[in-house]
């Protein structure tokens, strides 16, 4: 990648995540019991005792017992036990404190957000992965059928089982699983608007893209992720009826052309006329005047529609047109 890709720039994008929360109403604030903090609520629930132990060990109990306003997705004892077994830890004491702290912070968002204020989209947690020292991890919330976080249990996420336990300093939603730190792959799987991208990444004749984008080798990754409508437009453009008709080498090179390896490039670092070297080996050009966009090697232009979806091993920016490498 050219040196100008790494230069610091001022924030030049005004793009935001899909709204996922709205302000709590005055009624919500009036319902918050005084002197009954999030830690008090967890301590009074026998089924949240492991959460309380974890907060104490990670030195987070004082934070959630004090002033401020927080939303906590609280895993049950059963959820913690299953998570520890899955990760190969004998008990909470076996989990390194820095790891435990980030896992717990991945269950906390700033502000008191009731279930009625949640909508489908991204929200920021208070956790940080290893990919960025400044951009906190993103959480994808889907409210189409209850409240499902990061794609649910099968994808390292969770589902809210008991909502809106009000505290004096926020709100608790009890969840049935511990929410793992999301990877680029799990973020793609969690968002239904990336379902065709996931099909492409996991097509039988492709490299193990899902595994690569879940790991740390060559990470962090910056991924410019096309939506379902972007793929539909590409098929129309190429006069194809389905993803299966794209030749193996063409699809592989195209997918690699959307990935930058070894850097977690946030939107604030994007600069006008920036040349970006991709994992595929070819370049595309970022333009920021009149809105952020990308011009691929064939002169086709894709708009960046959302930015800075942070994963533990990289960052995702959403685009509305599939980029094509040199023909």
Regarding the domain delimited by 3-12+185-319, which CATH topology (the fold level of the hierarchy) does it fall under?
Answer: FAS1 domain (2.30.180)
The DSSP element (H or E) to which 314 belongs, if any, is strand 314-319
pLDDT on residue 2:
35
Regarding the domain delimited by 32-180, which CATH topology (the fold level of the hierarchy) does it fall under?
Answer: FAS1 domain (2.30.180)
Residue ranges of the chain with pLDDT lower than 50? 1-30, 32
> Strands 138-142, 121-124: parallel, antiparallel or unpaired by DSSP?
antiparallel
Summarised one tens digit per residue, pLDDT across range 63-94 is 999 999 999 999 999 999 999 999 999 999 99
* pTM beyond 0.95: no
pLDDT on residue 35:
65
Strands annotated E in 154-292: 158-167, 170-175, 221-226, 259-261, 274-277, 283-287
pLDDT on residue 3:
32
217/212 Cα distance (integer angstroms): 7
Return the sign of the alpha-carbon dihedral for residues 181, 224, 214, 203. Answer: positive
Summarised one tens digit per residue, pLDDT across range 193-240 is 999 999 999 999 999 999 999 999 999 999 999 999 999 999 999 999
305/296 Cα distance (integer angstroms): 16
Residue range(s) occupied by CATH 2.30.180.10 in the chain: 3-12+185-319, 32-180
pLDDT on residue 226:
98
């Amino acid at each position: 990648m050219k040196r100008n890709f790494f230069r610091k720039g001022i924030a030049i994008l005004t793009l935001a995540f899909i709204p996922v929360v709205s302000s709590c109403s005055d009624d919500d604030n009036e319902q918050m019991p005084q002197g009954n903090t999030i830690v008090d609520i967890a301590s009074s629930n026998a089924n949240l005792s492991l959460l309380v132990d974890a907060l104490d060990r990670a030195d987070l109990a004082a934070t959630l017992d004090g002033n401020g306003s927080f939303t906590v997705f609280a895993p049950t004892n059963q959820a913690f036990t299953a998570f520890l077994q899955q990760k190969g830890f004998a008990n909470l004491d076996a989990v390194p404190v820095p790891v435990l702290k980030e896992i717990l912070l991945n269950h906390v968002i700033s502000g008191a957000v009731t279930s009625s204020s949640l909508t489908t989209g991204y929200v920021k947690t208070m956790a940080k992965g290893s990919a960025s020292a400044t951009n906190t991890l993103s959480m994808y919330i889907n409210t189409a059928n209850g409240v499902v976080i990061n794609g649910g249990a099968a994808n390292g996420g969770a589902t809210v089982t008991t909502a809106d336990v009000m505290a004096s300093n926020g709100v608790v939603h009890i969840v049935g699983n511990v929410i793992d730190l999301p990877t680029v792959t799990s973020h793609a799987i969690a968002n239904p608007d990336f379902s065709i991208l996931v099909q492409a990444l996991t097509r039988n004749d492709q490299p193990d893209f899902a595994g690569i984008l879940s790991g740390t080798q060559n990470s962090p990754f910056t991924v410019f992720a096309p939506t379902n409508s972007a793929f539909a437009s590409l098929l129309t453009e190429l006069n194809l009826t389905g993803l299966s008709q794209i030749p193996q080498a063409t699809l592989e090179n195209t997918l690699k052309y959307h990935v930058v390896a070894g850097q977690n490039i946030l939107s604030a670092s994007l600069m006008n006329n920036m040349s970006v070297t991709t994992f595929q080996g070819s370049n595309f050009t970022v333009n920021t005047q009149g809105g952020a966009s990308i011009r691929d090697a064939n002169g086709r232009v894709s708009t960046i529609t959302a930015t800075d979806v942070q994963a533990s091993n990289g960052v995702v920016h959403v685009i509305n047109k599939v980029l094509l490498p040199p023909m």
